[in-house]
Every structure is written in C-alpha cells, then in structure tokens.
Structure 1
Amino acid sequence: MQTISDRSAVDSPVRADLLAVLAGAVFAASAVGAALAYADLDSPLRAPLALFYLLAAPTEATAFLLRRLEPLARWVASLSGAVLIDLLAAETMAGLHLWSTRNGVTAVGAISLLLFLLGTGTGVNPLGTGRERTVENSER
C-alpha cells in the first residue's frame, strides 16, 4: 500500500512536467494568435487567439520577472499586471491615434519582451536555492 508521502514524491515530477507542458501550450497558442494578427487572415480563430496573446504574453513575462514569489501570489500579480499593461498600451495608443490590432500586438509584445529581458538580467536564481548563506564561526 502506498502512503501519502510516497504518492507526493511520485506526483511532484509529474506535476512539474505537466506545468511545463501547459506553459508550452500557452506559449504556442499565444504565438499563433500573434501570427494571425500580423497576417491579417480571415480566420475564426484570429480574434480569440489575438486576445489570448494580449493577455498571455505580459502574464508570462511578469511571472518570469516575479519568480521568487509564492506561486499563487506570482500568478495573481502577473495577471493583474498583464491587464494593466494592456490597458495602458491601449489607452496610450488610442490617445495618439495609433490604435490597430497589429500595433497593439506589437506594443504588448515589445513590453513583454522588455519585462522578460529585465527578468533575465537580474541574476536571480529561479529555484531560490541560493537564499541560505553559510556563516563560519570566527571564534575558533
């Protein structure tokens, strides 16, 4: 009979793999949405996937930037940040009379790329294993 501690040890790698597959599927769907928005194809999937891209790209970039937070806090903060990025980009572009689907996808993609690059340049250990610091006793 398998105990709870044995089952959690088995479920952990499976859950991590499932999250990686889910993140890859989200990235692929949002990339298809961006490609359809740029290509101006008449497809019934163009509008939903473009909207999905406009929400998923800044969410993933912000989640990568905030990867040291707890998972639930990271996803809540990154989702609200993505809505904020979308609203500010749309308001700015509408105020400047530059709004179009292609320009909106470009602006949100550029902001998401900058956030992602900001997250890679911080030198933060994504696993959080470098948090502990060993201190040697100097009184020997």
Structure 2
Amino acid sequence: MQTISDRSAAGVPVSADLVPVLAGAVFAASAVGAALAYTGLDSPLRAPLALFYLVAAPAEAAAFSLRRLEPLDRMVASLSGAVLIDLLTAESMAGLHLWSTRNGVTAVGAISLLLFLSGTGVNHSGAGRERTVKNSET
C-alpha cells in the first residue's frame, strides 16, 4: 500500500484520492437522509439530511449521466438539473394533492434512479469509441 508521500513523489496528486471519498460520503449522507425521511423517525437530523437527499440524489445521477463534460460544467449542470427535478416533482405532486415527505422522497429517488440508469446505456453516437480490427491473414 502506498503512503501519501509515495503517491506525491510518484506524481499522483493527493486530491485525486479525495473525489471518490467525498462522493461516497455524499452518497452515505443522502442515503441516511432518505432512510430517516422514509421511515419517519424523529431525529434532529431528519430534515437537513432529507433536504440534502432531495438535492444530492438527482445531482449525483445527473453528474454520472454527464460524465463526458468538463468537471465544472458537469457540476453546474447537475446541480441545476437537481433543483429543476425537485421543483417539478414538488409542483406536480402538490397539484395532484399527493405531496408528503415519504412520497416526495420516493418520487425523487425513482427519477434519480431512472436518470442514473439512462447514463449507463450504450453510447449510440460513436464518439469516443475505438474499434479493433482483426487481421484475417494472421
């Protein structure tokens, strides 16, 4: 196992290790927020973590779907998309008289899951794909 000084000496920036750790921490905090909101447990962390989930889940799904963009562009687009998903979900559910914390968490989770799954699909544009050609004579 390499230490931080070994990785720095090898030219690997230490900040490259922080991105997956922070993404995991965000995922864990949002999952706890969803669990607290969905189960209805009384906790002082329920409201802030549920709100964090409502922003983080669609933002993470959109960031995964937009992984070909530059990092700053991806962050701005995913946060904007997360706010848009939250507002449209809340407005739709309020208009249909279906709004509750549990229903909101479920709807945003389902939309985020669909957005995430759409990012795992096959790239039909052909950009960025390499083709290997087999030589039939060898």
The residue aligned with 1:110 is 110
Distance of 1:90 and 1:8 partners within structure 2: 49
**What 5-or-longer segments of structure 2 have no aligned partner?**
1-7, 133-138
Distance of 2:68 and 2:56 partners within structure 1: 19
The residue aligned with 1:66 is 66
Alignment counterpart, residue 9 of structure 1, candidates 4, 11, 25: 11
**What 5-or-longer segments of structure 1 have no aligned partner?**
1-5, 135-140
The residue aligned with 1:137 is none
How many Å apart are 1:92 and its aligned residue? 0.1
Q: Secondary structure at the match of 1:41?
A: coil
Distance of 2:94 and 2:19 partners within structure 1: 36
Distance of 2:90 and 2:9 partners within structure 1: 47
Question: Any residues of structure 2 matched to 1:1-140 within 5 Å, and which?
Answer: 9-11=11-13, 14-123=14-123, 130=128
Distance of 1:123 and 1:8 partners within structure 2: 34
Decide whether aligned partners of structure 1 residues 7 and 81 sit closer, same or farther in structure 2, where only a CA change above 3 A counts: farther
Aligned CA-pair RMSD: 2.2
How many Å apart are 1:9 and its aligned residue? 2.0
Q: Structure 1-normalised TM-score?
A: 0.81
Distance of 2:114 and 2:41 partners within structure 1: 28
Amino acid at match of 1:9: G
How many Å apart are 1:7 and its aligned residue? 6.6
Distance of 1:113 and 1:47 partners within structure 2: 22
* Identical counterparts, % of pairs: 81
Q: For residues 42-84 of structure 1, give each alpha carbon's deviation from its aligned partner in whole angstroms, at most 9, with x where no partner exists.
A: 1000000000000000000000000000000000000000000
Decide whether aligned partners of structure 1 residues 16 and 87 sit closer, same or farther in structure 2, where only a CA change above 3 A counts: same
Q: Structure 2-normalised TM-score?
A: 0.82
How many Å apart are 1:121 and its aligned residue? 1.0
Distance of 2:70 and 2:131 partners within structure 1: 21
How many Å apart are 1:122 and its aligned residue? 3.0
Decide whether aligned partners of structure 1 residues 8 and 47 sit closer, same or farther in structure 2, where only a CA change above 3 A counts: farther
How many Å apart are 1:16 and its aligned residue? 2.1
